[in-house]
Homo-oligomer: A and B are copies of this chain.
């Protein structure tokens, strides 16, 4: 049935629309914006959600430090101006991917509320779902994990403006979803994100 429906894609004035792509993919595009301290578990959750979505045959793509900082944003440093521009560009790319029909999983600390809110507004303006997922762990927990040894370096003064130590983290005021990795299992966190996508009608329940 769905297969048949999708072959009846109609082209409007010869130009393919967002709806055409959604019909082909059988789900809507959206941005999942994971935010939280370094070591909070953003990437771990994003990887788990990506695996589950792919298992369900939904097309998604992760934006993270590995594919952004070395490429698109390789010409940005860590000044305040550059950190704002870093998140702005990631937000614009996420918007393009969501418009293309993918479920984007963006995992960057993105510590400043104003920067995240601009990305939310951009999605709103283009009628695209923006789901802010706050990974809420205590600094104590994140610092105890310290998977990359960054807190240790920051405490030693080797990293300037490190979020949580020498630069603030501003928690979201009204995130669509809060995951408390202090107490939730990875399975529970993944299930909560999937449930949020279902609740918003982005993927079928």
Contact = CB atoms under 8 A, between A and B. Distances in A.
Contacts of A63: 96
B7 A50 contact: no
A11 B53 CA distance: 12
B95 A25 contact: no
A132 interface: no
A96 B94 CA distance: 11
A97 B95 contact: no
Given A24-B57, A59-B59, A71 B51 contact: no
A45 B102 CA distance: 24
A54 B47 CA distance: 29
Q: Interface extent on A, as a size class?
A: 35 or more
Interface string A13-26: 01110001100110
A71 B59 contact: no
Contact of A59 (B55, B67, B101): B101
A6 B96 contact: no
Contact of A47 (B6, B14, B62, B99): B14
A72 interface: yes
B59 A25 contact: yes
A75 B91 CA distance: 14
Interface in A85-114: 85, 89, 92-93, 95-97, 99-102
B97 A54 contact: no
Contacts of A9: 54-55
A48 interface: yes
A162 interface: no
Contacts of A101: 59
18 contacts: A7-B57, A9-B55, A14-B47, A15-B47, A15-B51, A16-B50, A16-B62, A21-B54, A59-B59, A59-B100, A59-B101, A63-B96, A67-B96, A71-B96, A72-B93, A89-B89, A93-B93, A97-B97
